[in-house]
Structures are given as C-alpha cells and as structure tokens.
C-alpha cells in the first residue's frame, strides 16, 4: 500500500528559502498526482500546489504563485516543493497527499493518501 513521508521543514527568516520533499513507497510515483496542503489554526487546511503524474501539469494557489515551485523525480519516488521568498504568513504544517494520476482539486477528501506533515515556521 502507498505511504508518504514529508521532510525538509524548519525555521527560516522572512525572505528565506526551504525545499520540502515528499517521498512515497509501496507503489510507483508515476501512478499518482501529488498535492501539497498546509494547515493553520486560523485558516484550516488549504491547498497550495499539485503536480499530475504523466503530463506533470502543475497548479498553484494564487497566494504562492511566483514563490513556490513543485517538481517531481520519478526515479527517486520524490516530489519537491521549492519555497522561496517565504513570508510569516506561510507558517503552517505542510502535508503532501496523493490522488490517482490526476490532481483532484484542493478538497482534502479527494486525496485518499496523506503524509504526517512537516512544520514550516517563518520568522519576521
């Protein structure tokens, strides 16, 4: 069965950068689209980005366009989220999630497989 593990979170200064990783196991990454979500107490869980499997079509929330870049390395079974010019508003627990082949919007119920989350904290 499919398992997802996030890594790469941490504490950075405003304007800094982080690269998050989502590594899957149990099945080939080529079978899945991978989405990134973030969770905050005030906003709840919101979709950030997604990359599909075959065509590698990418999607971004308006709030992160131009600052975040999603990519995938099928040989390493890993999806990356490069985060640049980070802002305090980006502070959240970041989760990766998988849907079968295609990005299924940003409804959490459309992504049946989830990682455990990784904390990103951006200080001012």
Per-residue pLDDT tens digits for 25-54: 999 999 999 999 999 988 889 999 999 998
**Cβ neighbours around 66 below 10 Å, total:** 9
Q: Does position 55 have pLDDT exceeding 90, yes or no?
A: no
Assign 23 a pLDDT band (cuts: 50, 70, 90). very high
Assign 104 a pLDDT band (cuts: 50, 70, 90). confident
How buried is 61 (Cβ within 10 angstroms: 0-12 exposed, 13-18 middle, 19+ buried)? middle
pLDDT tens figures, 2-12: 999 999 999 99
**Cβ neighbours around 28 below 10 Å, total:** 11
């Amino acid at each position: 069965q499919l398992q997802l593990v996030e890594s790469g979170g941490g504490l950075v200064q405003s304007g800094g950068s982080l690269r998050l990783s989502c590594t899957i196991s149990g099945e080939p990454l080529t079978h899945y689209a991978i989405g990134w979500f973030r969770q905050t107490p005030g906003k709840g869980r919101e979709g950030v980005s997604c990359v599909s499997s075959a065509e590698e079509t990418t999607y971004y929330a308006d709030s992160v366009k131009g600052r975040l870049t999603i990519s995938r390395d099928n040989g390493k079974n890993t999806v990356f989220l490069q985060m640049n010019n980070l802002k305090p508003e980006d502070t959240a627990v970041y989760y990766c999630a998988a849907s079968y082949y295609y990005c299924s919007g940003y409804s959490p119920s459309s992504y049946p497989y989830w990682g455990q989350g990784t904390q990103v904290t951006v200080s001012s």
